[in-house]
Structure 1
């Protein structure tokens, strides 16, 4: 089992390392994710900050105090568990997309990689209209090499190398959260 990351570090990693490195091309996704990260930063810096020091402590605190809508009635829309679950799902899309970019050939279509990643992760949680809008937006993505260069880490080859280093860390965070939320039956919160 992995060590539990601190919640503030998780939020910083999502926002700083991954979302901003994608640039303005994904502003429609990063805007929503940044809003969720800000909610979590509020919890981890607020009056109950010790309760939000790690994912484990957050889950235990919110479940013990009825702050999570496990009955699927629509209550507690900004609970930490629900908010992290939304970030967790977005992280899965990001993980699949970046792995696809890393392993695809130079002539691969970024739009196809992105659409396949979206369909394997986030699409299941979005209504038809959002799915169609996302698919159309993905068609505007540049070629794979141009996209890798937009990530601002150097050449396409340097970006691929950086992804090779970053993806195991993304996988670790995803796996930790997946395991914790599965243990507490929180993977299907409304």
Structure 2
């Protein structure tokens, strides 16, 4: 992805998720991390409103980058190899005792949940009518994804913050892919790439009973 702000657009970011999957549907962690960095840039371009999510995501991405540069880095090439390594070596906290608070499995699960929220929100922007209120769309997406894992006080602060979101038109313009109509068309083409990565990850975590890691 280009560094210059003028070159940044959401289509490049969403399509980059296509590179996360190999032919055998392994999720490559380097591509996943880089794709998420693009989503963070998109969130930050909307101001501080999403900082409660983007700051958490950035800290999780840093954990994953540290694992990718650690002596054990060959085990952290893909989501599948990471799960096999950490589960096989009991490096994952299956209960509330935090011996491994920064395990790759736990860290990626947090990113996975945040990805679901953003996927649902972008999909609702795509399918909603012109006069839809973004605060409602964002709150509904949040309630269907991240809210279940946040304490009440965070949920309350978040839903209040959503009330100050810009209009649907502004969101579509910030995507930097042309007119609102072109942005909606782009979302239709590109969101399936995120959805595919999410579905593969969800299935893997479910198979190993990792979806509720504390």
Q: TM bucket by the smaller chain?
A: over 0.9
Query: Are 1:118 and 2:139 an aligned pair?
Result: no
> Match of 2:41?
20
Q: Higher mean Cα deviation, 6-15 or 95-104? A: 6-15
Larger displacement relative to structure 2 (24-33 or 87-96)? 24-33
Kindly provide the CA deviation profile for residues 45-77 of structure 1, in whole angstroms up to 9, marking residues without a partner as x: 221111000001000111111210013322211
Does 1:44 pair with 2:68?
yes
How far apart, in 2, do the equivalents of 1:106 and 1:127 lie? 33
Residue 145 in 1 paired to residue 169 in 2?
yes
CA distance in 2, matches of 1:179, 1:21: 27
Shift of 1:2: 6.0
Return the alpha-carbon distance in structure 2 between the equivalents of residues 19 and 157 of structure 1: 23
Q: Check the 8 A contact 2:80/2:204 in 1, yes or no.
A: yes
Q: Could you state the TM-score of these two structures normalised by the residue count of structure 1?
A: 0.94
For the Cα contact (< 8 Å) 1:141–1:147, is it kept in 2? no
Give the structure 2 partner of residue 155 of structure 1.
179
Where does the alignment leave 5 or more consecutive residues of structure 2 unmatched? 1-22
- Measured on the aligned residues, the alpha-carbon RMSD in Å equals 1.5
Q: After superposition, where does 1:120-135 map in structure 2 within 5 Å? A: 120-135=144-159
Distance, in Å, in 2 between the alignment partners of 1:123 and 1:166 is: 25
| Residue 32 of structure 1 pairs with residue 56 of structure 2 | yes
Alignment of 1:1-190 (within 5 A): 3-16=25-38, 18-22=39-43, 23-25=45-47, 26-190=50-214
Whole-angstrom distance in 2 between the partners of 1:57 and 1:2: 13
Q: Cα deviations across residues 131-158 of structure 1 (Å, max 9, x unaligned)?
A: 0000011000011111211233332222
The alignment's TM-score, normalised by the length of structure 2, stands at 0.84
| Count of aligned residue pairs for this structure pair | 189
Aligned partners of 2:27 and 2:201 also within 8 Å: no
139-148 or 23-32, which deviates more: 23-32
Give, in whole Å, the separation in 2 of the partners of 1:27 and 1:72.
27
CA distance in 2, matches of 1:45, 1:162: 35
After TM superposition, the runs of 4+ consecutive aligned structure 1 residues lying more than 4 A away are none
